[in-house]
Chains A and B, each alone.
Chain A
Amino acid sequence: MEGLSVADANLVMYLHPSKSRNVSQSILRELGSLLFKFNETFDGVLLAYDVNILDKQAKILSGVHPYFGLRLKANLLLFSPKPDMLLEGKVVKLSQESIHVIVLGFSSAIITAENIRGEFKYRTKDTEELFASKSHKRHVIKVGTMIRFLVKSFDEEILHIIGSLISAHTGSIRWLDRHLEEDSEFDRSSMKSRDREWLGDKTVDEGATPMSYDNHIKMSKKRRITE
């Protein structure tokens, strides 16, 4: 899954003098308050951190309240989805109009009907709602399925993603992983760039599956390993 990264950060944290009695707790608390919020400096949502104090001595700022600045070194796990990234999440709600997904357990994503490729048709089977592929019978998306989708936009305040299932390499992960392996034998040279404006009833031709550059690398790596 794209969008996750680990970063090394050199931070300076300014603490109020009242926190001087228990500095490590205050540091953890401050960093904890940044969790699951989009941070401009980090350019991402902070998911986890590991922090060390570099210097036991801290510089005191002059001012009304003598805040003191601590130099820290932190390992940060960041989540920063950008448009055209592929993300993976679990389907929690499905209707004719939309598919609702939760990514990494905290970020909600929605894929509206206009952004679902024509290959998928909404069906109700035994009171269960699902999207089934017209061309591949086994390719089914329903509540609980893990799907891979493309990011269209990301709301940094609410951490809400608008996604799309237009591209061919989006859909149920289980099916994709199984079948992309088989497809890798086919024409890899016809690498078309992803076309987000694909609408309408175009069905995907198995023989000419356009693959992303990343997937291409992955596939070739896989083949190298298996050989």
Chain B
Amino acid sequence: MGLELPKYPEMEEDQVFNFTDSEIVSHVKQALASVLSGDNNSYNQLVGVMHHSKHLAPDEVALLETTLKALAGAVSSIDITHHDSLLSAIFCMSMWNYGPHVADALAELIVSLAISNGKYLDLCLGMLVSNFTPPPYFLDKLKMPHGLERKGKVLSRVHAAFKKIADYVPLAPLRLLTIVLQGMPTIYHKDRAIVIYVENMLKLESGEIGELVGSTILMAVVDRLIELDVEIGWDAILQDDFSKGIFEMELEDVDDIEESAEPDVGEFRLSRKSLAGNSIAELLDNLLVLTFEHLESCEREGRLAKVFETLLQSFRVTVLSAYKSKFAQFVMFYACALDPENCGMRFATMLADLFVQDSQPQPTRMSAVSYLASYLSRAKFLAASSISSMLKGLVDWCLEYCEAHDADINPNAHRVFYSGCQAIMYVLCFRMKVFVDVPRLKSELLIPLEQVLKHKLNPLKVCLPSVVEEFLRQAKAASLFTVCKTFIFDGLLESELSRAFGGLERLDTFFPFDPCLLKKCDSFIRPMFVFWSMVKPAYDDAFDDDDDDDGSSDDDLVQDFVNENEDIMNDEFGKSFDEQGVDMDEFDYALKKMSITPKATSNYKFGGRFQEPARMPSRIRPSTSPESL
């Protein structure tokens, strides 16, 4: 094959030469060898070509491409000490700056260099890893179509190069792993390089060398998520308004909040607004979305079960031990939602096992049961049988504990026990309807539960008052059992006793799967999430008889709505989240158009004819009287 070379100084100006590939390679080899004897001219020219990278004319591009290809053939002549300027020029090159041909030639050179000598392997892998992120000027262009296109091309070449190197140097993935982990941008990098870096890491995990490096990479990603999570202080999202109960309000749609003039109510005013400006929250949001999408692709490829094992281990080691993780745990939630029977149950069983193990430290056990309680309450995709079996396990454990410990009330001494009881009550607040409908469950579960609650240890007095109050209200309405003593809480969220058992870490008020405040993340989680507004507490049945005309007209309104949107409703019901073709925004708009009042929602049967739509107008107050509506 002939090639036309543009002018080199030593050639005559008017002549055009055709060279074969091997001639060019030997020319380059000569240039390299001549350095050893002191003649640097041709070598310096070579280095010059490599450095010239911006605003290249077409013939300069061709020259660069030819030089790179020739160097690839001459790698055995490159010496690490004598040719260090050439090497540093090569390693500084970024594939993002060039078109496809030069990028290909560069990738080929790097691969040849890496496999030629052990000394260059780390440097070459490092160079490829540095190509994960574009140069600073390109970062803004990433969102535009031509930027995305360039990104796709560069990344595919980089990952193909990894595969090629791994083919010829089997231990390369190990070295690559170290380099990738060391090169992770910290969360303080202003240029947001971490998002695209993590994208590359996940691509490695799903790529051809994924088997070798995948699990370590996933754990590193989760570590980074927790790091970001920890950076968002609880004070950024909490506002101290302990006067209202937990179940009063749940943030569902930030638009509603902005529209209404009514002042926000609700304890732990989980305000999405205060997170809006927080750049770390935005970063975490983007990374979580990346992870979710990655999990989706794992599920499509059938690898989710294996990936889940790594995630589970990572959760145990990193998330569970982090102090009150805020959002990182939603990775587990989403993974479970993708595969409820296997992964969903696996997660629950792991948490339950941790709880019952005496050898685990107390905070771990209490944390585990808080996660379990929140998970069982909020996971829309869990079957009632799974929830009941988990609950039964908890109740049995609590009963055993009661029988083994014939003691009086003492929050400090029996922290694990009280957190277990609170967990049971919390889950029943959300899932009471399910159990009331099944008589067998009533006897299996509720009789031992009654024994536990009436024991000397007195969990009803120690556990979080708002949870206990809600639970008792529902239990009474469902005629589960009656409590002789009345508990007056005055709508208190917490009491001294609950604080005592919660301890310094305040594990009494830890509900990890409360609605996610990160916007993009939330849109993924919503379809499989149980909002409090969707739960029809047992005591609302009592209000049905008090319907006045307003109520009936609402009924008609509801019926019309139902008729009109029957198809959408039916599509919603029983569909797995990723099959939902329903455009949520469209549906939401239809809902708003009908302006269904909160009261009307109590007519929807929980788990009955149809599932409630995932988005409800907010401000549902299940415990209020009809007048307020």
Binding site for B on A (CB under 8 A): 36, 92-93, 95-98, 100, 102, 105-108, 110, 112-114, 155, 157-160, 162
* B170 A108 Cβ-Cβ under 8 A: yes
* A106 B170 Cβ-Cβ under 8 A: yes
Binds A, one of B110-118, B179-187, B289-297, B475-483: B110-118
Chain B positions 59-100 with a Cβ under 8 Å from a chain A Cβ: 73-76
Residues in chain B near residue A100, CB distance under 8 A: 115, 168
> A102 is contacted by which of B22, B119, B168, B175 (Cβ under 8 Å)?
B168
* A97 B76 Cβ-Cβ under 8 A: yes
* B22 A158 Cβ-Cβ under 8 A: no
Residues in chain A near residue B170, CB distance under 8 A: 102, 105-108
* A158 B121 Cβ-Cβ under 8 A: yes
> A108 is contacted by which of B76, B122, B169, B174 (Cβ under 8 Å)?
B169
Report the bound CA distance from A112 to B174 in whole Å.
25
Report the bound CA distance from A159 to B122 in whole Å.
13
* A157 B118 Cβ-Cβ under 8 A: yes
Q: Does B256 contact A (CB under 8 A)?
A: no
> A96 is contacted by which of B22, B119, B121, B122 (Cβ under 8 Å)?
B22
* A160 B117 Cβ-Cβ under 8 A: yes
What is the distance, in angstroms, from B212's C-beta to the closest C-beta of chain A? 12
* A93 B73 Cβ-Cβ under 8 A: no
B 167-178 to A, binary, CB cutoff 8 A, 1 in contact else 0: 111110011000
Residues in chain A near residue B119, CB distance under 8 A: 155, 158
Known: A95-B73, A105-B170, A155-B118. 11 other contacts (CB 8 A): A93-B115, A93-B168, A97-B25, A100-B168, A102-B168, A102-B170, A108-B170, A110-B116, A112-B76, A112-B116, A158-B175
Report the bound CA distance from A93 to B169 in whole Å.
11
Residues in chain A near residue B116, CB distance under 8 A: 98, 110, 112
* B115 A158 Cβ-Cβ under 8 A: no
Report the bound CA distance from A113 to B22 in whole Å.
14
What is the distance, in angstroms, from B522's C-beta to the closest C-beta of chain A? 38
Residues in chain B near residue A113, CB distance under 8 A: 76
> B117 is contacted by which of A106, A107, A110, A159 (Cβ under 8 Å)?
A110
* A158 B75 Cβ-Cβ under 8 A: no
* B73 A97 Cβ-Cβ under 8 A: yes
Chain B residue nearest to A103 (CB atoms) is B170
Residues in chain B near residue A36, CB distance under 8 A: 171, 174
Q: List 24 A-B contacts (CB under 8 A).
A: A36-B171, A93-B115, A93-B168, A95-B73, A96-B73, A97-B25, A98-B76, A98-B116, A100-B168, A105-B170, A106-B171, A107-B170, A107-B171, A108-B169, A108-B170, A110-B115, A110-B116, A110-B117, A114-B76, A158-B122, A158-B175, A159-B118, A160-B117, A160-B169
Chain B residue nearest to A98 (CB atoms) is B76
Chain B residue nearest to A93 (CB atoms) is B168
Chain B positions 114-136 with a Cβ under 8 Å from a chain A Cβ: 115-119, 121-122
Chain A residue nearest to B119 (CB atoms) is A155
What is the distance, in angstroms, from A164's C-beta to the closest C-beta of chain B? 13
Closest 7 CB pairs of A and B: A160-B118, A158-B118, A155-B118, A108-B169, A112-B76, A106-B170, A100-B168
What is the distance, in angstroms, from B105's C-beta to the closest C-beta of chain A? 16
Chain B residue nearest to A161 (CB atoms) is B118
* B76 A158 Cβ-Cβ under 8 A: no
Residues in chain B near residue A92, CB distance under 8 A: 167-168
What is the distance, in angstroms, from B168's C-beta to the closest C-beta of chain A? 5
Chain B positions 1-31 with a Cβ under 8 Å from a chain A Cβ: 22, 25
What is the distance, in angstroms, from A88's C-beta to the closest C-beta of chain B? 16
Residues in chain B near residue A97, CB distance under 8 A: 25, 73-76
Residues in chain B near residue A106, CB distance under 8 A: 170-171
Report the bound CA distance from A88 to B174 in whole Å.
23
What is the distance, in angstroms, from A155's C-beta to the closest C-beta of chain B? 4
Report the bound CA distance from A155 to B175 in whole Å.
14
Residues in chain A near residue B169, CB distance under 8 A: 108, 158, 160
Residues in chain A near residue B168, CB distance under 8 A: 92-93, 100, 102, 108
Report the bound CA distance from A92 to B168 in whole Å.
7
Chain A residue nearest to B25 (CB atoms) is A97
Report the bound CA distance from A36 to B25 in whole Å.
36
Most chain A beta carbons < 10 A, residue from B117, B168, B169: B169
Residues in chain B near residue A157, CB distance under 8 A: 118
Residues in chain A near residue B76, CB distance under 8 A: 97-98, 112-114
B 257-280 to A, binary, CB cutoff 8 A, 1 in contact else 0: 000000000000000000000000
What is the distance, in angstroms, from B94's C-beta to the closest C-beta of chain A? 25
* A160 B121 Cβ-Cβ under 8 A: yes
Residues in chain B near residue A112, CB distance under 8 A: 76, 116
What is the distance, in angstroms, from B113's C-beta to the closest C-beta of chain A? 11
Residues in chain B near residue A110, CB distance under 8 A: 115-117
Report the bound CA distance from A106 to B175 in whole Å.
13
Residues in chain A near residue B122, CB distance under 8 A: 158
What is the distance, in angstroms, from B281's C-beta to the closest C-beta of chain A? 35
Most chain B beta carbons < 10 A, residue from A92, A98, A100, A108: A108
Most chain A beta carbons < 10 A, residue from B73, B116, B174: B116
Most chain B beta carbons < 10 A, residue from A97, A110, A155: A97
Residues in chain B near residue A162, CB distance under 8 A: 117
Residues in chain B near residue A159, CB distance under 8 A: 118, 171
Residues in chain B near residue A107, CB distance under 8 A: 170-171
Report the bound CA distance from A110 to B168 in whole Å.
10
What is the distance, in angstroms, from A23's C-beta to the closest C-beta of chain B? 16
* B73 A158 Cβ-Cβ under 8 A: no
What is the distance, in angstroms, from A37's C-beta to the closest C-beta of chain B? 9
Given A97-B75, A100-B115; A158-B167 close (CB under 8 Å): no
Residues in chain A near residue B22, CB distance under 8 A: 96
Report the bound CA distance from A92 to B111 in whole Å.
14
What is the distance, in angstroms, from A121's C-beta to the closest C-beta of chain B? 14
Residues in chain A near residue B167, CB distance under 8 A: 92
Report the bound CA distance from A100 to B73 in whole Å.
14
Chain A residue nearest to B168 (CB atoms) is A100
What is the distance, in angstroms, from A181's C-beta to the closest C-beta of chain B? 33
Chain A residue nearest to B72 (CB atoms) is A97
Most chain A beta carbons < 10 A, residue from B25, B118, B119, B167: B118
Report the bound CA distance from A159 to B169 in whole Å.
9
Report the bound CA distance from A113 to B73 in whole Å.
11
Report the bound CA distance from A213 to B168 in whole Å.
32
Residues in chain A near residue B74, CB distance under 8 A: 97
Chain B positions 150-173 with a Cβ under 8 Å from a chain A Cβ: 167-171
Report the bound CA distance from A96 to B430 in whole Å.
72
What is the distance, in angstroms, from B77's C-beta to the closest C-beta of chain A? 9
Residues in chain A near residue B75, CB distance under 8 A: 97
> B171 is contacted by which of A95, A98, A114, A158 (Cβ under 8 Å)?
A158
Report the bound CA distance from A159 to B174 in whole Å.
12
Residues in chain B near residue A95, CB distance under 8 A: 73
What is the distance, in angstroms, from B606's C-beta to the closest C-beta of chain A? 45
Residues in chain A near residue B175, CB distance under 8 A: 158
Chain A residue nearest to B122 (CB atoms) is A158
Report the bound CA distance from A98 to B112 in whole Å.
10
